[in-house]
Structure 1
Amino acid sequence: MENSTQIFGIRAIIEAINSEKTIDKVFLQKGLHGDLFNELESLVNKTGITKSYVPVEKLNRLTKKNHQGAVAQISPVEFYDIEHLVVNVMESGKTPLFLLLDQLSDVRNFGAIIRTAECTGVSGIIIQKKGAAPINGDTIKTSAGAVFKVPICRVDHIKDAVFYMQASGIKVIAATEKTNNTIYDVTFTEPCAIIMGSEGRGINPSVLKVADDKAKLPLLGDIESLNVSVACGAFLYEAVRQRR
């Protein structure tokens, strides 16, 4: 399906990357070769843009135009600089509440989380450049437009964001079942950031290791986990409850 957040053609995508356009993902035709194609591959690898090698049929479904074996998705929103955002929030006088999403990959979960974040007054959402769900039409629809209201930052690694939060006096709380603490044992009234993990793996062990605190949701049934967007909502509303 064609949309205004797509560009196609090898040269056009190279120019977009060199012009520092915010590109979420590049789809490259599997098995394609050539000097210009190799130049694009090299540039994508150098800049760390998420890429996927797909059959030509997939590219043909993305666009009816002459794509030359490459289609890119451009983000419909501008991303914030994490340092500027944190400083502005700290200086605003409000108690910061940030969300760190560790490689959450489902766009509908992402959109639902953004919607809840807007409703609970989250100061900003931080995602990783590689491996994170893109902001596309499904994200926008599921967020009910909240994606245009909540500041979103992209960082090279979530661990970098954790260290920056901690250096700024913001406590980092990991949402994980690997703890005896529930959300009712943890304090959310001070400046804090909540880490939510990916749908399958949860929070990366190296990220979990550097968190200041950990908390889980009490589960009283037989199913061992909640959908990540539902779990995130429970964490955020416990923060709201404590701050009222």
Structure 2
Amino acid sequence: MSPERYQKIRDVLSKRQTSLTVCLEQVHKPHNVSAVIRSCDAVGIHKVHAVWDDETKELRGGTAMGSQNWVYMENHNSIGDAVSHLQEQKMQVLVTHLSDQAVDFRDVDYTKPTAIILGQEKHGATQQAIDLADQEIVIPMVGMVQSLNVSVAAALVLYEAQRQRQIAGMYDTQHLDESDCQKMLFERGYPDFRKLCDEKNLPYPHIDEQGSIVADDDWWQALQFRKL
């Protein structure tokens, strides 16, 4: 990995917002999943959560498109499990849903730890997700159609969250643990070595400030490569 690529990855990781995430509930169309994850990366989300039905889970082999790039995906067996996990992290859980109880998405304080549930394309969030969430939010519309594509809705809400967090200076301080930074640096900086490590059950090495691998001879021998 070149020093330039190392610095680029470092700059991205320094702005990751560990206290902001989305939870995809049965969002099954690949282009929508990819578009949501792209927006998550753009606003600095480190990890996305998801609940898939059995058919979608089979199609994806348990992972979501895009998670192999710059945003991690954590799968949950049910929306109940997902919400419990998020609330254990002291996150306010929002759900996009048109109702009398919903508030304008711009009236929410996104500088708080926040998770946003996005329901599936046709029917939206399930009643269980709505019941479990702390607050329903809505994107005001004045046209004939009263719903947006899920990826468009995600982008609108996430960029409002980014706007508030930038004003609050939350992108000026690194929130990601150094161990998580090291993991991402190795996985994305040395994808071939990462694959070998996973196959051989080897620990990931340290990456220094020049973007080079720091490992002893035993590690290189186990990897069956000469030291770089």
Query: Does the residue aligned with 1:127 lie in a helix, a strand or coil?
Result: strand
Give the corresponding residue for 1:223.
145
Say which of 67, 74, 78 aligns to 1:157: 78
Q: Is 1:205 matched with 2:120?
A: no
CA contact (8 A) 1:114 1:147 kept: no
Say which of 28, 37, 42 aligns to 1:105: 28
Which one is further off, 110-119 or 173-182? 173-182
Say which of 168, 171, 174 aligns to 2:95: 174
CA contact (8 A) 2:17 2:44 kept: no
How big is the shift at 1:129? 4.0
How big is the shift at 1:130? 2.4
Gap runs ≥5 in structure 2: 1-14, 167-228
Say which of 57, 64, 69 aligns to 1:148: 69
How big is the shift at 1:123? 2.5
Give the corresponding residue for 1:125.
48
Q: Write the distance in 2 (CA, Å) between the matches of 1:154 and 1:95.
A: 17
Query: Does the residue aligned with 1:224 lie in a helix, a strand or coil?
Result: coil
How big is the shift at 1:161? 1.1
Q: Give the direction of change, closer, same or farther, for the CA distance of 1:124–1:116 in structure 2 (3 Å limit).
A: same
Q: Identify which of structures 1 and 2 has the higher relative contact order when contacts are C-alpha pairs closer than 8 Å and 6+ apart.
A: 2
How big is the shift at 1:186? 1.2
Q: Write the distance in 2 (CA, Å) between the matches of 1:93 and 1:116.
A: 13
Instruction: Report the count of equivalent residues.
Output: 148
Spell out structure 1 runs of 4+ moving beyond 2 A: 92-95, 129-136
CA contact (8 A) 1:128 1:155 kept: yes
How big is the shift at 1:147? 4.6
Give the corresponding residue for 1:96.
19
Which one is further off, 174-183 or 152-161? 174-183
Query: Does the residue aligned with 2:103 lie in a helix, a strand or coil?
Result: coil
Amino-acid identity (%):
30
CA contact (8 A) 2:48 2:72 kept: yes
CA contact (8 A) 1:95 1:190 kept: no
Give the corresponding residue for 2:156.
234
Q: Write the distance in 1 (CA, Å) between the matches of 2:36 and 2:16.
A: 25
CA contact (8 A) 2:25 2:52 kept: no
Give the corresponding residue for 2:196.
none
Amino acid of the residue matched to residue 209 of structure 1? D
Q: Write the distance in 1 (CA, Å) between the matches of 2:20 and 2:160.
A: 12
Q: Deviations over 1:70-96 (max 9, x none)?
A: xxxxxxxxxxxxxxxxxxxxxx99551
How big is the shift at 1:135? 4.4
Give the corresponding residue for 2:11.
none
Query: Does the residue aligned with 1:238 lie in a helix, a strand or coil?
Result: helix
Q: Write the distance in 1 (CA, Å) between the matches of 2:78 and 2:141.
A: 30
